[in-house]
Amino acid sequence: MDASPKKIADTRSRDIELIEPFPQRRTVIVCARNIRPAVTLRRVFEDRSKIEIVDTRNLAAAERELIDAPDAAMVVVACSEWLDRLTDRLPILFGIRPTALYPRAQCFIVLPDHLSAFRLPLREAGAADIVSSLQDLGTLGRSISRHFERAPLKPLSLPQRILGTLPWS
């Protein structure tokens, strides 16, 4: 279903934008060195057509994707080269502070066992959930679904609310 605005004419020949009742995109940004985590998450969310999986290869590209989807869920498959940048950027991007750039977004991390010493610092930096392998992506999928269930919907304009209550809409 296309979420782009459609123009309809009312009786006074003005144009009103008619948008779906839930216009916001549900985006999961996957940041990993290979395509395997994104493919696995697509399988986890295959029955939910409103969730879009965006695959990136580095943290900078994932941050650029957050600009278009500020309430997204970001999944980072951590590697030793990314840990310093990750612990520095998480509080800025997702922190609890009012200065966080994306307070409605959440970051979920896949942290391999050999990097388990970084679990606590990443949690303190702002990770919503941390799992130890790609086999735990089902658990991560449930956490991501809860994030989207709690995410506030964008408020509808008055004409959109009125049109949404009409029996023929």
Task: Tell me if 155 is assigned to some domain.
Answer: no
Task: Tell me if 14 is assigned to some domain.
Answer: no
Task: Tell me if 66 is assigned to some domain.
Answer: yes
Question: What pLDDT score was predicted for residue 152?
Answer: 62
Task: Tell me if 11 is assigned to some domain.
Answer: no
Tens place of pLDDT for every residue, the chain, 169 residues? 444 444 444 444 444 444 444 445 689 999 999 999 999 888 888 876 678 999 999 999 999 999 988 889 999 999 999 999 999 999 999 876 667 888 889 999 999 999 999 999 999 999 999 999 888 888 898 999 888 888 666 666 778 777 777 777 5
Task: Tell me if 48 is assigned to some domain.
Answer: yes
Question: What pLDDT score was predicted for residue 13?
Answer: 42
Half-sphere exposure of 38 (CA within 13 A, CB side): 16
Order across the sheet with 26-31: list the strands: 51-56, 26-31, 73-77, 106-110, 127-131
CATH number, domain with residue 79: 3.40.50.2300
Q: How many helices (H) and strands (E) does the chain have?
A: 6, 7
Question: What pLDDT score was predicted for residue 82?
Answer: 93
**Residue 91 is which amino acid?**
P
Task: Tell me if 56 is assigned to some domain.
Answer: yes
Number of domains in the chain: 1
3-state secondary structure of 25: coil
DSSP 99-123: T-S-TT-EEEEE--GGGGGGHHHHH
Q: Which domain holds residue 146?
A: 26-150
Task: Tell me if 16 is assigned to some domain.
Answer: no
